[in-house]
Structure formats: C-alpha cells, structure tokens
Amino acid sequence: MATFPDFNKGLYAPLAEVDPEVQNIIDKETWRQFSGLELIASENLTSRATMEANGSILTNKYSEGLPAARYYGGNEYVDELEVLCQKRALQAFHLDPAKWGVNVQPYSGSTANFAALTALLQPQDRLMGLGLPDGGHLTHGYYTAKKKMTASSIYFQSLPYALDPATQLIDYNGLASLAKIYKPRLLICGASAYPRDWDYKALRTVADDNGAFLMADIAHTSGLVAAGELADPFEYCDVVTTTTHKTLRGPRAGLIFFRKDSDKAKDLEKRVNDAVFPACQGGPHNNTIAGIATALLQACQPSWKAYAKQVIANARTLGQELVAHGYKLQTSGTDNHLVLWDLRPLGLTGSKLEKLCDIVGITINKNAVSGDASAQVPGGIRLGTAALTSRNMLEADMKIVADFLHRAVQLSLLLQKEAGSKLLKDFVRVASVPQEGKEGALQVRTLRDEVRAFARRWPLPGVDVSTLTRPAGIEEDE
Ligand code: PLP
C-alpha cells in the first residue's frame, strides 16, 4: 500500500468528502434544475456522457497548437480526440472536409467570435451586425452612445443594421443601403433573440456587392441547423461560428467553421487557426473538446432530427398558447426554438415578470423587444424550449407551461397594484412576504407549489432523479 504525503492526501477522495461546501452548492443547483422549468433560450441540459467527458482527466493536459503540431509532448491521445471532434463537427453539419474545416478549440461563443474577427479583419476595419436591441449579440459590434462595450467595437468599427419596425423582421433592404455607404469588410448575421430564420442568399449578395466577408453566428440555432430544420448558412457564408451549449446540447464552448475554398481568401484555414491560437487563446480545454465530441456524436444520430423538430414544435405551441391568452409576440410567432414576448401592452416590464417567475421556479430572461424606448428597461421576455424538450416535454406540456406563464403575468399585475409603486424592490417585497389583507403573496406560493410539482414529474438529463433528496440549505414548506 503506497503511503501518501499529507499534501497529496486530498487527491483521491470524492468531492463530497474533500469539499462538502462546493458539493452542497452543486446539489442545490441540481435540485433547482430538477424543481423548476428552464425556459432560457440560450440554455439546454446536456447529457450524462457529455458531463463525464467534460469532467475527465483530459483537464490535466496542455496541448497548444493543432493535432500533430503541438508545442507540448504527450499529445498522442489528445490529437486523436481533437481530430475526432473535428470530424464529427463536419459530419453533424453535413460538410465536405475538402471544402470546410473547423477549429474546435474556442473556450466559448464570445471567444470564437473574437477569434473569427481577428482572422477576417485588421484593427479598425468595419463590420456590420444586427444591433443588440434588435436581437443581435454583444460580440457583433455593440456599443452605446457613451461606451464601446465589447472588444468587437473597441478594436473594430461597427455599424448595426436593424429590424423593420413594421414587420419586426430583418430589414434586408435597409441593410443593403447601409452597407452600400458603410462598405463593411465583414457582414455578420445570426442573433441571440430573433425568432425567425435568415435569408443567407440575400446577405451573400450584400456581402459580395461590397467586397465583404459573410459570417453567420448560429450560436442559438446550431442544433436546429445541424438537423436541417432551418436554412443552411454553410451554403453562403465564409465563416460560421457557434456555441456548443445551446440547441446543440453540448458543454460550454465554441466552434469556428471556415471555408477552405472561399473565393474571398484562400488562406482562411490558417487565418482562423492562428487567430484562435496564439492570437486569442492559449492551451485548449481538452476535457471540453471531449464533451463537444460526445455531444456531436449525439447530434449525428437520426434521432437528432426528431429532437430539433420537437424543440421547434414546442416553441410554436408555446407561442400559440400565449397568443390564445391574448398576448403579443414579436413577429407573431416563431420559426425556431424561441419566442419573444412583448409585455409592453400590459404595462409590465420584463424585469418584473422575470423576478416573479424566478420566485415560482420558472427561469426566463427579460429581453429588449423591437421599439423599446430604453435598453435599461426591456419590454419583453425571451423564452426557449430546448431545455424542456430535453426533459421530454411535448406540445401538450407547453400548454401547461403557457398557463403557468399566463398566471405569472396576471399575478405580476396584481402584485404591481399591491406594491403601490413602480419599484422592483417593492414588487419583490409584496411577492415574497404576505401582506395584511392582500392576496398576492399567497397566490405566489400556490403557483410556486404547482410549478414545482409539475417540474418534478420529469427526468433531468445526466441525473438519476430517483436518488435526489432536498439538499441542506434549501427550505421548502410542505
Ligand atoms: N453569439 C450568440 C448569438 C449568443 O447568443 C451568445 C451567447 O448567448 C454568444 C455568441 C456568446 O457565447 P458565450 O456565452 O459562450 O461566450
């Protein structure tokens, strides 16, 4: 039996023994995910296999560089892994390896995007992306009148394009006119909060007319694109980036696909690879790459198409049910996994509904809707169905979820009255603490109990829920 010096004794015991504090936090988060309804459009519930790969011994290894061209020894298996991951990424998106390559090392979607900009642009070159208030992402060039908010606007110049206020769809004509004047070097499409599909052909025309690269950031929709349920950006783009943890249902990371046969630049492969390392990153997170590979294997299965179809069917049903309750949706519906719910006609802010939903166990996020007067007070809510679909929910279940949301809105309106002020803190107080002669807080508890009971009827990917018990630190009145 080997003897251990004191400083190595903690290397073998399980987490619960070594660090009960962190274990307890994980247990509480597991309980929260089990007991609530996850409707954040950028989240999903990854598989046990992905979590095992992600939590594996691969975290120990440094492997700066690319397969067979590393700056460290000992990478024979890491090379095998990265090549496998690349192969599966191309396969999942039905790409010909002669025409497309992929870098699987980005730590996240934001770093993937910044590396892509680094590959395609020189400092202070011009880019155009969908404006953040219209559903675009921070990394697509966002800035305000007061501040350049992200590296994409600090190191590059950017001009946002917008939605057509009448239809709330991308204003392709307006974009073409702006591009004609602005002459961007890069046109970015893709969004964080846009419920409709993209016209990549029209965007390619604008890019070509102005000598620009076309890049799609399909972070939100990549799982649906892989399934062939949305238009194919690879047909028209030079570069495609994505996160791996949204509809693609993998671990948290990013991918950059590049065209090997682009007319615009024959060296995109080298430019992208050099931009990821050494320009923007150091050693890849090999444990994450293993998790991505495993998630991609799942996305290559015939059953993936059924999952993607169900995500979309669920989003459609959720949207239709909200409309049936009399609510307004941006673009009146959806083509993908998300709906944007416009609360402004109700006189309710996104912040208040988000807060109340948090209290009752429905996880959503406030979101700007087209025409919002202030970005600080978003007038809507973004809802996505990828995670609930991963818990096996179908259209009939979305009706129940829509009813919960409807009750949450009605309750928020009541609480707003009871609070007697517009302040969020007063709203939270009357929602949380029963007030003499007021109904609101009691109704909050009833709704919370019903949401909990409903949510706990479903499995939670990666977890054996039959063994779950309420962890220390979570109070629940019976
Ligand atoms: N791109 C889009 C369109 C996104 O919606 C997001 C995140 O929500 C990102 C990039 C950034 O991804 P990450 O949070 O992994 O950096």
Predicted confidence (pLDDT) per residue in 312-357, tens digit: 999 999 999 999 999 999 999 999 999 999 999 999 999 999 999 9
* pLDDT band, very low/low/confident/very high, at 1 (cuts 50, 70, 90): low
The predicted model gives 141-164 an average pLDDT of: 96
Token pair, residue 276, equals: 């990821």
Work out which ligand 1 atom sits closest to the CA atom of 253.
15
The predicted model gives 439-467 an average pLDDT of: 96
Could you identify the residue written with the tokens 């190191």? Answer: 155
Contacts of 220 (CB under 8 A, 6+ apart): 41, 42, 190, 191, 192, 246, 247, 336, 337, 338
Q: How far is the CA of 422 from the centre of ligand 1 (A)?
A: 32
70 lines ligand 1 (CB under 6 A): no
Does residue 434 carry a pLDDT above 90? Answer: no
**What domains appear along the chain, each with residue ranges and CATH number?**
57-299 (3.40.640.10), 305-465 (3.90.1150.10)
Tell me the C-alpha distance between 198 and 308, whole Å. 17
Token pair, residue 458, equals: 């479903």
Mutation test residue for ligand 1: of 44, 117, 137, 218, the one with most atoms within 8 Å of CB: 137
Predicted confidence (pLDDT) per residue in 241-290, tens digit: 999 999 999 999 999 999 998 888 889 999 999 999 999 999 999 999 99
Does residue 376 carry a pLDDT above 90? Answer: no
Shortest-distance Cα residue to atom 12 of ligand 1: 109
CA-based angle 315:399:390, to the nearest 5?
Answer: 50
Does residue 231 carry a pLDDT above 70? Answer: yes
Global model pTM greater than 0.95: yes
Shortest-distance Cα residue to atom 5 of ligand 1: 192
* pLDDT band, very low/low/confident/very high, at 478 (cuts 50, 70, 90): low
Residue 5: strand pairing partners: none
Predicted confidence (pLDDT) per residue in 124-135, tens digit: 999 999 999 999
225 lines ligand 1 (CB under 6 A): no
Rounded percentage of the chain residues whose pLDDT exceeds 90: 92
Catalytic residue positions, numbered: 62, 64, 217, 243, 246, 252
Average pLDDT in the chain: 96
Tell me the C-alpha distance between 109 and 115, whole Å. 10
288 lines ligand 1 (CB under 6 A): no
The predicted model gives 127-144 an average pLDDT of: 96
